[in-house]
Structure 1
Amino acid sequence: MLSKEEIQRYQRHFPLPDFGVEAQEKLKKSKVLIVGCGGLGNPVSSYLAASGVSCIGLIDSDVVSISNLQRQILYKEQEIGISKVRLTAQKLKELNHHVEIEEYNLNLNSKNALSIIDKFDLVIDCTDNFPTRYLINDACILQNKPFIYGSIYQYEGQVAVFNVNKSANYRDLYPTPPNPESVPDCEIGGVLGTLPGIIGSIQANEAIKVICGIGQPLIEKLFIFDSQSMETRVIKIKNTNARDTITGLIDYEEFCHPNKNKMVKEITVKELHEMIENKEDFQLIDVREPHEVEIATLDGELIPLGDIPQNEDKIAKNKKVVVHCRSGARSGQAIQYLQGKLGLENLYNLKGGILAWADEIDPSMEKY
């Protein structure tokens, strides 16, 4: 039953065809898990809280950084460095005190996924990486939970609804993970600041439709939105019964990046600091963009990731080469390319990149 206050709060829902009090009561009884409190997680959590979902679970281990503020509109400049889960929970309670919030300041993994997801009716993917998407998908299959998928990159976004009454799932769309080098993340390729708001709102919309049993959710359909042209497409997803291959959870990092640990050698920022202090003879290469160097630098030789193929001759062949970027992702890609193309074995990725250096070596260095 809805209270008098709830009837007043949600009154704009009630005149809607096929909605009414019954659908609102379904929202009041529902429990939704949101994996990721970033660009997609901000609008998804806000709209579901405002709409009257009873319980919202939030999973994220990250803290707010200044580069988040371009698209993650729940956060403020003075909140940089604070837990995203804690901040999101606080702001959702301020938006709607009726909503119960469960906070998980951690990374979803194969050990905790089933026990966490078991508590909820529906899971929404607001992440930015393939291992977690496959993990969410497989856990939802094992526990028969609907899964709202969302993805953004540059100017384009995608949304789909998986695993409703054994409908198509993520593995029907992507049977195998793509080559990591062929799918750069938003740190490398960028993302339009407004795009997460658009795609996240559509994800929230699909969740409400599934919970309330209204409309036609994107079941066995992939919705694609291009913000540059304002064109949309809906592609049919064939149900190949890929769920039948899922009998348990696996190591998803290994599944998506089978050669990651085998191919790329790493050094820590402490090891690099010692090399610098000892004045060792090595080459330090920075594969970030010029504007990033203006924020923070280790004084390495700047060769942006996209320019690596045209500058292969600048890579030392007879001494140790340390490659770095902001977090270690782009530098890892550069090393994989150079090892594959030139067969070099003297390349080392700086684990954690500039961010780790700021945390462990130079706290005065500006993080972004």
Structure 2
Amino acid sequence: MSAASNALPTVPPLVEPVESLSRAELERYSRHLGLPGFGIEGQRRLRAASVLVIGAGGLGSPVINYLAAAGIGSITIIDDDVVEASNLQRQIIHRDADAGRPKVTSAADAVHRLDPSLAVRTIEGRLTPENALELFTGHDVVLDGADNFATRYLSNDAAELTGTPLVWGTIFRFAGQVSTFVPGHGPMLRDLFPDIPEPDSVPNCAEGGVLGVLCGTVGSAMATEAIKLICGIGTPFIGRLLRCEALTGEYSTLRFSPDPDRPQVTDLAEVTAACTVDSNAGAAESTADEIDVAELRSVHDDVLVVDVREDWERELSAIPGSLHLPLGSLRDGGWQALESALSDSDRAGSPIDIVIHCKSGARSAQAVEMLSGSVPPGLRLRSLAGGIDAWEDVPRASADPRN
């Protein structure tokens, strides 16, 4: 990352304005029309614009809500997930009644409650190397609220290849970041973070947590950036990374410039490999020695179950008789941490098979992989496939092979 120049880049408006606004639109957006430098022409540009929003979760929720309220012409929403109860703490576009529904469907319904005339396209799936270039080319600006590194770098590379402006945001625990990347008008994501991190190098929201209201702070900033780009007003966060810390209330801006030594993006080959690893993460984890729920129920009294989730997760549910040892403790202490926990348990007399579990099987598979080289001879270490989610989904009677 090279030093940034003092001049802040600006870009011309992304779209030509629609010819006119209806009387109803003039009334609806009247608070915009009096803004200096924005006015009726800015509103006409918004009405002409099409945006692609990647993710209908924590960041996508305020992005979609505010762009729809602002009078954007059309929105495409892409997400492959369904609404869960744990989403509702921060994903404000969804309601309790939406649990179990595709997020894109729930989000589209919310948009139409706000503005029945707004054009909404939904894609229940993921952004992939196969569809990214076409989707980016078909929209004026893209807002990336993805929750994984592979998709973020895919968005960057697709933006570079198609020349499409990209607004990027990320959140973790109490901190958030926002930047804007406009090919040909400043640095891109790879100038700031050149290499794609490993998929599990940073805990996700389920493991690390996230302050719900922070999504509104970062998502609103992202929507603001999109409006500035579309209308050609203000100074976008091109070559700047906005950083906010919720606990201290501090905001800071990191300036950065294009890296002259960075290889230019010429295709999606590298990011295709990263996306393959990310999408196959579950399959890769399942290659670890696993046990399914039915077998665990049948041998439950003869194995030691170790729960690597956090304290608060055990407040929701726990497998009876399980030993608690958070994954972070295993990362720090390795096999010795497990041995120490075993020495304090009632089952430390002789070697016993161990089953490690988490919520869905991802963290327990990591634990098995970390410990696999330290397991004493004669002791079998396995991960519970599907985690406690699978345990709770399969009733005891139906899981017992003797029934």
Q: What displacement does 1:322 show?
A: 3.3
Q: What displacement does 1:44 show?
A: 0.4
Aligned equivalent of 1:298: 319
Q: Could you list the per-position Cα deviations for residues 43-70 of structure 1 after superposition, in whole angstroms to 9, with x for gaps in the alignment? A: 0000000001111011112111111111
Match of 1:287 among 289, 308, 318: 308
Q: What displacement does 1:298 show?
A: 3.1
8 Å Cα contact 2:297-2:396 kept in structure 1: no
Indicate the SS of the match to 2:120. Answer: strand
Please give the alpha-carbon distance, in whole angstroms, between the structure 2 residues aligned to 1:22 and 1:333.
54
Please give the alpha-carbon distance, in whole angstroms, between the structure 2 residues aligned to 1:320 and 1:144.
55
Q: Could you list the per-position Cα deviations for residues 176-230 of structure 1 after superposition, in whole angstroms to 9, with x for gaps in the alignment? A: 1335554211111111121001100000000101111110000011100011111
Please give the alpha-carbon distance, in whole angstroms, between the structure 1 residues aligned to 2:38 and 2:295.
65
Match of 2:71 among 31, 36, 52: 52
Match of 2:384 among 350, 355, 359: 350
8 Å Cα contact 1:285-1:323 kept in structure 2: yes
Structure 2 counterparts to residues 177-326 of structure 1, below 5 A: 177-240=196-259, 242=262, 244-249=264-269, 250-253=272-275, 265-266=287-288, 271-277=292-298, 282-299=303-320, 300-308=322-330, 309-310=332-333, 311-313=337-339, 314=341, 321-326=354-359
CA separation of 1:332/1:297 partners in 2, compared to 1, >3 Å: closer, same or farther? same
Aligned equivalent of 1:66: 85
Please give the alpha-carbon distance, in whole angstroms, between the structure 2 residues aligned to 1:135 and 1:319.
45
Structure 2 unmatched runs, 5+: 1-19, 343-347, 398-403
CA separation of 1:275/1:197 partners in 2, compared to 1, >3 Å: closer, same or farther? same
Match of 1:30 among 49, 61, 70: 49
Indicate the SS of the match to 1:13. Answer: helix
Q: What displacement does 1:330 show?
A: 2.7
Structure 2 counterparts to residues 101-250 of structure 1, below 5 A: 101-240=120-259, 242=262, 244-249=264-269, 250=272
8 Å Cα contact 2:289-2:381 kept in structure 1: no
Q: What displacement does 1:296 show?
A: 2.6
Question: For residue 20 of structure 1, what is the amino acid of its counterpart?
Answer: G
8 Å Cα contact 1:265-1:349 kept in structure 2: no
Please give the alpha-carbon distance, in whole angstroms, between the structure 2 residues aligned to 1:122 and 1:352.
38
CA separation of 1:220/1:105 partners in 2, compared to 1, >3 Å: closer, same or farther? same
Q: What displacement does 1:305 show?
A: 1.7
Match of 2:362 among 303, 317, 329: 329
Q: What displacement does 1:144 show?
A: 1.3
CA separation of 1:336/1:180 partners in 2, compared to 1, >3 Å: closer, same or farther? farther
8 Å Cα contact 1:110-1:251 kept in structure 2: no
Mean Cα deviation higher: 138-147 or 50-59: 138-147
Question: For residue 325 of structure 1, what is the amino acid of its counterpart?
Answer: C
TM-score (norm 2): 0.80
Please give the alpha-carbon distance, in whole angstroms, between the structure 1 residues aligned to 2:121 and 2:280.
34
8 Å Cα contact 1:61-1:84 kept in structure 2: yes
Q: What displacement does 1:40 show?
A: 0.7
Please give the alpha-carbon distance, in whole angstroms, between the structure 1 residues aligned to 2:196 and 2:110.
35
Aligned equivalent of 2:371: 338
Please give the alpha-carbon distance, in whole angstroms, between the structure 2 residues aligned to 1:256 and 1:172.
22
Q: How many residues get paired?
A: 361
Paired-residue identity, %: 38
Q: What displacement does 1:268 show?
A: 6.4
8 Å Cα contact 2:288-2:368 kept in structure 1: no
Please give the alpha-carbon distance, in whole angstroms, between the structure 2 residues aligned to 1:356 and 1:2.
53
Please give the alpha-carbon distance, in whole angstroms, between the structure 2 residues aligned to 1:159 and 1:21.
28
Please give the alpha-carbon distance, in whole angstroms, between the structure 1 residues aligned to 2:383 and 2:300.
19
Question: For residue 265 of structure 1, what is the amino acid of its counterpart?
Answer: T
Please give the alpha-carbon distance, in whole angstroms, between the structure 2 residues aligned to 1:243 and 1:256.
23
Indicate the SS of the match to 1:149. Answer: strand
Q: Could you list the per-position Cα deviations for residues 245-265 of structure 1 after superposition, in whole angstroms to 9, with x for gaps in the alignment? A: 332242224567999977873
Please give the alpha-carbon distance, in whole angstroms, between the structure 1 residues aligned to 2:263 and 2:69.
33
8 Å Cα contact 1:322-1:349 kept in structure 2: yes
Please give the alpha-carbon distance, in whole angstroms, between the structure 2 residues aligned to 1:120 and 1:353.
40
Indicate the SS of the match to 2:254. Answer: strand
8 Å Cα contact 1:286-1:323 kept in structure 2: yes
Question: For residue 338 of structure 2, what is the amino acid of its counterpart?
Answer: E
8 Å Cα contact 1:2-1:25 kept in structure 2: yes
Mean Cα deviation higher: 250-259 or 41-50: 250-259
Indicate the SS of the match to 1:57. Answer: strand
